[in-house]
Each structure stands twice: as C-alpha cells, then as structure tokens.
Amino acid sequence: MSKSIQAAGLDEKLSQKGPFTIFAPTNIAFGKLQAIKMNDLLKTENKESLITFLNHHVIDGITNYKDLKDNQKLVTTNGRELTVKFVSGKVTINNAVLQGRDSIGSNGIVHSLDTVIQFD
C-alpha cells in the first residue's frame, strides 16, 4: 500500500494532517487484486482514480479496535460508507477481515485487512 500512497502523492497529506485511521490491505491482499487493475491505477494519468481508490481505506480521526461495533458505519475521507461486522469471531470492514490492529503511527492508527476495499 505504501507504494500506491507514494504514487498518489498521499504520503505528504497523511504525514501532515490527522489524525487518521487507515484500513490498510496487506501485500497479499494487493496481490489478490488483478495485476492489470493495479498497474492501470499506478499510471500517472490515473492518479485521481488511485487517490479515490486509496481514500476508500482512510477515515478521519482515531478508531481503535475496541471502538469498533457490529453494524457500525464509518465514512471514508472521500465520503464512502464502510460497514463494520462481527462475523464468526472476526471483525470485517466491508467484507474484508481485520487481521492486524491498532498499529500506532505519528498521526493516526493502522489496521490491516486481508482484502482491498472496492466500490463499484
């Protein structure tokens, strides 16, 4: 995800503003994404699409794991709605399983996901 954040120019935004909560897909999750789609998103001419795609994973403010509730709605920085679910002892965000949690950064918190969040 860090390569994508740098390509989109979001690294500067995320290091200055805050706090943020980032639901970061793991490298394996990005590997599940069609290579063609990811390669297209990383092209310079598709920077705005990449920014939109990445902002599906970022919300304003700090949301710790203990703050998550079943059926909770979270709004991303680009206005899309994420839904938290508790399913069979696992926490999901729009069907992506939360794998790692509460990694504290300089201006926020990161939770890792097993799947990339996508909207049609």
Q: What is the mean pLDDT of each run of 10 residues along the chain (120 residues)?
A: 64 74 88 72 82 88 96 96 96 95 88 87
Q: How far is CA 15 from CA 58, 63, 77, 103, in A?
A: 13, 17, 15, 15
Q: Domain 2-113 in CATH: superfamily?
A: FAS1 domain (2.30.180.10)
Per-residue pLDDT, 4? 65
Please give the pLDDT value at position 36. Answer: 58
For 99, list phi and psi in degrees, rounded to 5. Answer: -105, -50
pLDDT in the model for residue 41:
77
pLDDT number for residue 15: 67
99 vs 92: CA distance, rounded Å: 9
Block residue for tokens 């990339």: 116
Look at residue 23 in the predicted model and tell me its pLDDT.
94
